[in-house]
Amino acid sequence: MLSVKLNYLLEEFGYDIYIINTNGKSGKSFYNFNKRIHISFLKPSKLRIIHFFTYRKKLNLLIKDIKPDIVINCDNGLKGSIFPYLVNIMAPVIYERHCSKNIFVVDFFERFKLILSNIILSTNINIYKYFIVLNSEERLDWNYSNVKVISNPIWFNQPKTVRLKKNNVIIAVGRFSPEKGYENLLKIWKLVADKYPDWILKIYGEGNYDGLNKFANNLNILDNIQLCNPEKNIENIYENAQMLLNTSKSEAFGLSIIEGMAFGLPVISFDNISGAKSSIVNGENGYAIKKDDLKAYAEKVIYLIENEDDRDRISKNAKQFVKKYNLEAIMYQWHLLYQSMC
C-alpha cells in the first residue's frame, strides 16, 4: 500500500515525497517505488541500547534536512507511538493506523508493548492533525474528533470479466504469523479435504512455514495443501482460484479480502475482525462465520463447493461491492486531506 499510494501521489498530483525507513534495512524492496521518491535509512547501532539514545538525534537531523510541509507517521509499533515526543518539527503530523487496536499477539512482551503503545497513543492522539484508520469499526475504537476513515484502495485495474474457473483451488493470502490463524485454517481444511480430497488449499505468504507443514502432516492433509512464497503478480493467483479463505484473529482491513472480491472470489472469514465486518455482507458477497466456529466455517466452504450457482451469485455481488475501493477515488481523498493542510 505504501508503494501504491506514494507512487500515485507523485505521478498524478506531483508531490515531492521522502521516506525515512526507521528499521534501517536498505535491501531491495519487494515492491517498486518511483525513482523520484527519496528514501533514507536510519542505520541502527550494533548495540540496541546505543541505538535507543541515538535514534532521536538521527531522526531529527533527517527531518530538519528535508524541511517537510506534512509528516506522516506510519509506524504502528511502540516506537511509532512515541513519535511526537521524539521530533522537533513545526509541520502538521498525520498518524496512519494500519493495524487493529487489539491486534492478536502471543508473546507476553509483545502484548505488553501493544498495551503500552495504545495507552501512549490515546494520551497523545490530539497532537496529530489527523489520525487515520481503515474502516468505521476501527473508528469506534479511537473515539476522538480528529479520527478519520480512509480505506485502502484496490491497487490494480479490476478485471471487467473473470474467466471461467475450472480448477479446484481455494486460496488464503497473508504472512505466516500467529495472528493469521493458519492452524485453525488447516483444521478447517481437514474437514473439507475429508469430503473433497480433489480440492487444494494454497496459502501464499512469507515467513517460516515449517511449523505449519508439521501441523498439516499431523492432520494428514499434506497432499491437500500447498504453502507458497509471496507472489508479486498476485492477480494471477486470484484469477485461478475459486474462493478466498481468511482466518485472521485480528485485521484492521484485510487487503486480500477486497483483492479477492475484485476477481469475483467469494470470501469466508470470521466475524470478529473489523476488516471482515466492514467488507463482508453475510450471504451476499461472502460469509462471516462466528468466531472460532471451525465446523460452521468448513460447512460453508463445502456448501460453496457444492453450489456453483450460489458461488456465481456471490461472485457477481463481490465484484460490484469493491468498486467503492477504486484507487482514483481513495487517492483523491488523500489529496484533498493534504491540500486542506497547506
Beta-carbon contacts of 34 under 8 Å, excluding residues fewer than 6 positions away, are: 6, 7, 10, 11
Position 199 scores a pLDDT of 97
Residue 120: closest CA among 146, 82, 93, 76:
82
Cβ pair 234, 227 in contact under 8 A: no
CA distances from 38 to 7, 21, 256 (A): 12, 11, 28
Give the count of alpha carbons within 13 A of 134, CB side only: 23
Angle at 299 between CA 297 and CA 305, to 5 degrees: 110
Q: Which residues pair with 38 in a beta bridge?
A: 18
User: What cell was used for 328?
Assistant: 482514483
User: What cell was used for 50?
Assistant: 546505543
Which CATH number is 2-153+326-339 given? 3.40.50.2000
Residue with C-alpha cell 468505521?
136
Q: In the CATH scheme, what is the homologous superfamily, with its name and number, of domain 169-324?
A: Glycogen Phosphorylase B; (3.40.50.2000)
**Amino acid at residue number 314:** I
Residue 89: closest CA among 104, 109, 68:
68
* Spatial distance between the Cα atoms of 180 and 175, rounded to a whole number of angstroms: 7
* CA 201 to centroid of chain Cα atoms: 21
* Phi, psi angles (nearest 5°) of residue 189: -65, -30
* Spatial distance between the Cα atoms of 202 and 212, rounded to a whole number of angstroms: 13
* CA 46 to centroid of chain Cα atoms: 31
Strand order in the sheet with 147-149: 71-73, 93-96, 130-133, 147-149
Position 50 scores a pLDDT of 67
* CA 245 to centroid of chain Cα atoms: 15
Cβ pair 300, 268 in contact under 8 A: yes
Domain coordinates in residue numbering, the chain: 2-153+326-339, 169-324
Domains 2-153+326-339 and 169-324 share a fold: yes
* Spatial distance between the Cα atoms of 186 and 241, rounded to a whole number of angstroms: 18
Per-10-residue mean pLDDT, the chain, length 342:
95 96 73 92 70 82 94 90 89 90 77 88 93 88 91 82 75 88 95 96 88 92 92 84 91 81 93 80 92 95 95 93 92 96 82
Position 25 scores a pLDDT of 66
